[in-house]
Amino acid sequence: MAAISREILKRRGILPSPVMATIGTRSMASWFGHVEPAAKDPILGVTEAFLADPSPDKVNVGVGAYRDDNGKPVVLECVREAERRIAGNLNMEYLPMGGSIKMIEESLKLAYGEDSELIKEKRIAAVQALSGTGACRLFADFQKRFLPDTQIYIPIPTWANHHNIWRDACVPQRTFRYYHPETKGLDFASMMDDIKNAPNGSFFLLHACAHNPTGVDPSEEQWREISYQFKVKNHFPFFDMAYQGFASGDPNRDAKAIRIFLEDGHLIGCAQSYAKNMGLYGQRVGCLSILCEDELQAVAVKSQLQQLARPMYSNPPVHGALVVSIILGDPELKSLWLKEVKGMADRIIGMRKALRENLEKLGSPLSWEHITNQIGMFCYSGMTPEQVDRLTDEFHIYMTRNGRISMAGVTTGNVGYLANAIHEVTKSS
Ligand code: KET
């Protein structure tokens, strides 16, 4: 009886009220009997599988987390120094609902430009967010609450979690074309068509730089054309900027797409994350900003963002915000940070060259030019899910099934092994 009603309810998509189940002589309510295990996360699930593998040869190029050339996680020197300054000196009281004012100020300078008039005019509503994910989610919730009839256009492909974020915020999703599998580059013409064909006033999710997973970004000229077309269509651009500094090694240059849109007078939204560029992954520190028409509007929007945060997590965590504001607020620490970001970006660029060279030396019949053409943390290799499965099963190499290689996990020590394995699974394709 319990099994039948559970089945029916499941088919109708209704959650069952407690179902009576009999265990031995006891009768008890089964509150959670209908809960099926969730599908594994396509990115974080890879780390779980990697950790469970006892092989000494194993390599993790799944999650986008930077490693040094010994394959070890990195804490930046500027972060260590900021932590020394925090320890024993600063209190850990609640931050305001919108987070650290200082951290927000510094974040806006990074995204909108050191001397931005928009900052001076106080036109930007901004709150500290739970890293990039939290910033996207807060924006999606804001969109649902205040623009309930809008949809979000998401590039294909994109970071898998974008789909989850806007789904859970109950914002309908549409897609736009972005990547060309044959050229392994940007499908600019199709992207422009989709932008033109979307209803006027649509919301678009754009990766500000270092597109994940493809490593393919529009050129400056193409961004200008995109911005122009957004103007014509009155679309709203929401920039996810999770990799500022990781594309070129220079955070200012990596903000170019945003600056082009600002020059053209758009209102924009922007999610910033310090996970990658400051290595603050687990600290969950980021910023959501929305550029408004004037200060009055910005005050209202910020108050509503805070209102969204309050019942969810009340206020954001303090430690990462202190680290970020100390680093960005101190000219010496800031220049150390800039040097360290550049160092990370350069090591990745070096590994791109090494991986490509190794594959070419092995006599691979395929072209691997895209490894060095793509930028940011990832190489979208073009390998099929079956080839990736073989890499994992036969070589203990862990990566997402879409063929994405996190170049941040490639080292001088493992690049030869990785190239050899890739060659083995692709040479007959
Ligand atoms: N946006 C993009 C495009 C992105 O790749 C990530 C993380 C985030 C936002 C969120 O990062 P956060 O840690 O919330 O600031 N991407 C890597 C990690 C993950 O999947 O969570 C990844 O793609 O491996």
* pLDDT 10s digits, 379-388: 999 999 999 9
**CB-CB neighbours of 160 under 10 Å:** 15
**CB-CB neighbours of 396 under 10 Å:** 18
Helix, strand or coil for residue 325?
helix
375 close to 346: Cβ distance less than 8 angstroms? no
Helix, strand or coil for residue 207?
strand
Q: Is 368 a residue of the active site?
A: no
Integer Cα distance of 361 and 386 in angstroms: 24
* Segment 224-233 mean pLDDT: 98
Atom of ligand 1 minimally distant from the CA of 273: 15
Domain ranges of the chain: 42-74+345-422, 77-334
177 close to 183: Cβ distance less than 8 angstroms? no
pLDDT reading at 11 higher than 90? no
pLDDT at 22: 53
* Segment 372-392 mean pLDDT: 95
Looking at 194, 276, 302, 368, which residue is catalytic? 276
pLDDT at 212: 97
Prediction pTM value: 0.92
Token look-up 């929007």 returns 301
Average pLDDT, rounded, for the chain: 93
H helices of 264-399, in order, are 295-313, 318-329, 331-361, 369-373, 385-395
Token look-up 């099994």 returns 3
| d(CA 160, ligand 1 centre) in Å | 9
Atom of ligand 1 minimally distant from the CA of 400: 24
Q: Would you say the CATH fold of 77-334 matches that of 42-74+345-422?
A: no
Pocket residues: Cβ below 6 A from ligand 1: 43, 63-64, 131-133, 159, 161, 207, 212, 240, 242, 273, 275, 281, 286
Integer Cα distance of 171 and 164 in angstroms: 10
Percentage of the chain modeled with pLDDT above 90: 90
Q: Is 339 a residue of the active site?
A: no
180 close to 186: Cβ distance less than 8 angstroms? yes
Q: Is 166 a residue of the active site?
A: no
H helices of 314-330, in order, are 318-329
**Residue whose CB lies within 8 A of the most ligand 1 atoms, among 161, 205, 285, 379, for a mutation test:** 161
pLDDT at 417: 96
Residue with CA closest to ligand 1 atom 17: 64
**Residue whose CB lies within 8 A of the most ligand 1 atoms, among 273, 288, 380, for a mutation test:** 273
Atom of ligand 1 minimally distant from the CA of 64: 24
Residue with CA closest to ligand 1 atom 23: 64
| d(CA 154, ligand 1 centre) in Å | 15
Question: What percent of the residues of the chain are helix, what percent strand, and what percent coil, each to the nearest 5?
Answer: 45, 15, 40
Residue with CA closest to ligand 1 atom 20: 43
* Segment 56-81 mean pLDDT: 95
For residue range 322-345, list pLDDT tens digits in order: 999 999 999 999 999 999 999 999
Residue with CA closest to ligand 1 atom 6: 242
Please write down the HEC assignment for all residues of 25-78: CEEEEECCCCCCCCCCCCCHHHHHHHHHCCCCCCEECCCCCCECCCCCECCCHH
| d(CA 407, ligand 1 centre) in Å | 15
pLDDT at 90: 85
330 close to 150: Cβ distance less than 8 angstroms? no
Residues composing the chain: 429
pLDDT reading at 198 higher than 80? yes
* Segment 235-262 mean pLDDT: 97
Integer Cα distance of 197 and 193 in angstroms: 6
| d(CA 137, ligand 1 centre) in Å | 12
First to last CA, the chain: 53
Helix, strand or coil for residue 262?
helix
> In 3D, which of 224, 229, 174 has the Cα closest to residue 203?
174
Radius of gyration of the chain (CA): 23
Name which CATH class applies to 77-334: alpha beta
**CATH code linked to domain 42-74+345-422:** 3.90.1150.10
